[in-house]
A and B are shown apart, each in its own frame.
Chain A
């Protein structure tokens, strides 16, 4: 039974509005709008949703992503440094399909590499956040939506909201997967970069 008693009426109205909007998402543009609206409800600064290939609990690599508004500089840095496999948030959600605060995920995935990824993230203003992950067995991927910022505002309410929205966000993401963007030019040769611009 869904327990939403601790959410305000305004939250419930917003959540229902997001669920309704999620049903209409058919493109990365509309999904991005959904991310931004969810970000607003969660009072976050940044939002992103991505799909990550996993083998067991091991993160293999980024399959696709729709960036809400994470700084491009961070995405480029993330791709260049190949942070994906050590990302503590992704590693946490490769193990657990539930919404969690970044602080808790960082506590659970406490390795030198994961701390390094987090430290770099803080340089770009990504200090606190909340994320949720859903395992998609048919693709052997986890779909992770993450909402973050510099302020420590994330509480149980944010987890609850994400818990309710998780399936709807995931379905909307899947529908828009046909035109998903790849991380910025990760691993491409010069000739391929030029070729990809033609796609």
Chain B
């Protein structure tokens, strides 16, 4: 679906949600964003969370029924939640009914039956995986009537990656020790310089080995420390080894 099918007002709101997601730094701010997304996808209730497929999950509830949430947490129902499983497996936007088709077994259909008792019958959800496997976010929007289709999926396709960044900033320390680490690309020469530093060589010695000036070695060292966000050469070596850049 192309964005041109949306009204200008919808596009303004989508852009506003993305913009405010980049500024979002607290749970109340995230909840107010969830309300705005809920409104634009015409849902009645919304919820989001980060976690993994093992059921370890931090949930931020905007408007799902409290009694349902209590039951959901007490019985660790996220493990048999087809929507959570779908999103955490494919990291794609889906209608709840699509998730049930992919996860048709008894625990999943049973869970959906229990959810519908709480008015959670239809919905649309999306999520983004973190930099590490099996860890990611889920954003789910529900209604008692079936209002969801391609339009709602497209909206979530566009806004969820930005909501993901917001929830990672707010809630990830509590759920995972793993941080979102930006990928670092070192040039062949920089890796070469780093390896010699690791061997204890001075800038002058490296310049002799590589047949370049000491100034060029310093230039590479400077770039390496910037790229790795290191405070000095030793710190750069430690970070590079931790990230497997010297393997």
Tell me, yes or no, whether A156 is within 8 Å of chain B by CB: no
B185-222: contact bitstring with A at CB < 8 Å (1 yes, 0 no)? 11111000000000000000000001111011000000
**Interface-facing stretch out of B17-25, B56-64, B94-102:** B17-25
In the complex, the answer to whether A192 meets B213 with C-beta atoms within 8 Å is yes
Q: With a CB–CB cut-off of 8 A, which chain B residues contact A199?
A: 187-189
B183 in complex: contacting residue of A9, A26, A168, CB < 8 Å: A26
Q: With a CB–CB cut-off of 8 A, which chain A residues contact B14?
A: 16
- Distance (whole angstroms) from the CB of B186 to the closest CB of chain A: 7
**Interface-facing stretch out of A41-49, A102-110, A171-179:** A171-179
Tell me, yes or no, whether A113 is within 8 Å of chain B by CB: no
- Distance (whole angstroms) from the CB of B60 to the closest CB of chain A: 22
- Nearest residue in B to A17 (C-beta to C-beta)? B3
Complexed CA–CA distance, A17 and B3 (Å) = 9
Tell me, yes or no, whether A138 is within 8 Å of chain B by CB: yes
> Which residues A148-190 have CB closer than 8 A to chain B?
164, 167-168, 174-175, 177-179, 188-189
Tell me, yes or no, whether B184 is within 8 Å of chain A by CB: yes
In the complex, the answer to whether A138 meets B189 with C-beta atoms within 8 Å is no
In the complex, the answer to whether A15 meets B12 with C-beta atoms within 8 Å is no
In the complex, the answer to whether A23 meets B161 with C-beta atoms within 8 Å is yes
Q: With a CB–CB cut-off of 8 A, which chain B residues contact A179?
A: 185, 187
- Distance (whole angstroms) from the CB of B16 to the closest CB of chain A: 5
Complexed CA–CA distance, A192 and B19 (Å) = 45
Tell me, yes or no, whether B116 is within 8 Å of chain A by CB: no
In the complex, the answer to whether B20 meets A192 with C-beta atoms within 8 Å is no
In the complex, the answer to whether A138 meets B229 with C-beta atoms within 8 Å is yes
A19-37: contact bitstring with B at CB < 8 Å (1 yes, 0 no)? 1100100100000000000
Q: With a CB–CB cut-off of 8 A, which chain B residues contact A84?
A: none
Q: With a CB–CB cut-off of 8 A, which chain A residues contact B177?
A: none
- Nearest residue in B to A5 (C-beta to C-beta)? B12
Complexed CA–CA distance, A15 and B227 (Å) = 29
Q: Given A138-B229, A192-B213, A195-B212, are A167 and B22 also a contact pair (CB < 8 Å)?
A: yes
In the complex, the answer to whether A12 meets B11 with C-beta atoms within 8 Å is yes
In the complex, the answer to whether B186 meets A178 with C-beta atoms within 8 Å is yes
In the complex, the answer to whether B15 meets A4 with C-beta atoms within 8 Å is yes
In the complex, the answer to whether B188 meets A175 with C-beta atoms within 8 Å is no
Indicate the member of B4, B19, B183 with the most A CB atoms within 10 Å. Answer: B19
In the complex, the answer to whether B185 meets A2 with C-beta atoms within 8 Å is no
- Nearest residue in B to A7 (C-beta to C-beta)? B12
Q: With a CB–CB cut-off of 8 A, which chain A residues contact B12?
A: 4-5, 12
Tell me, yes or no, whether B226 is within 8 Å of chain A by CB: yes
- Distance (whole angstroms) from the CB of A172 to the closest CB of chain B: 11
Complexed CA–CA distance, A188 and B218 (Å) = 13
> Which residues B53-80 have CB closer than 8 A to chain A?
none
Indicate the member of B12, B210, B226, B227 with the most A CB atoms within 10 Å. Answer: B226
In the complex, the answer to whether B212 meets A192 with C-beta atoms within 8 Å is yes
Q: With a CB–CB cut-off of 8 A, which chain B residues contact A17?
A: 3
- Nearest residue in A to B186 (C-beta to C-beta)? A178
In the complex, the answer to whether A139 meets B161 with C-beta atoms within 8 Å is no
Tell me, yes or no, whether B246 is within 8 Å of chain A by CB: no
Complexed CA–CA distance, A49 and B97 (Å) = 45
- Nearest residue in A to B3 (C-beta to C-beta)? A13
Which residues of B come within 8 Å of A, CB atoms? 3-4, 8, 11-12, 14-16, 18-20, 22, 158, 161, 182-189, 210-213, 215-216, 226-227, 229
* Listed A/B pairs (25) with beta-carbon separation below 8 Å: A1-B16, A2-B19, A2-B20, A4-B12, A4-B15, A8-B8, A13-B3, A15-B15, A16-B3, A16-B14, A20-B158, A23-B161, A138-B229, A139-B226, A167-B22, A175-B182, A175-B183, A178-B186, A179-B185, A192-B212, A192-B216, A195-B210, A195-B212, A198-B189, A199-B188
Nearest 4 pairs of A and B residues by beta carbon: A178-B185, A12-B11, A9-B8, A2-B19
**Could you list 14 further interchain pairs (A-B, Cβ under 8 angstroms) beyond the known A12-B15, A174-B182, A192-B213?**
A2-B19, A4-B12, A4-B16, A9-B4, A12-B8, A13-B11, A63-B226, A168-B22, A178-B186, A179-B187, A188-B216, A195-B212, A198-B189, A199-B187
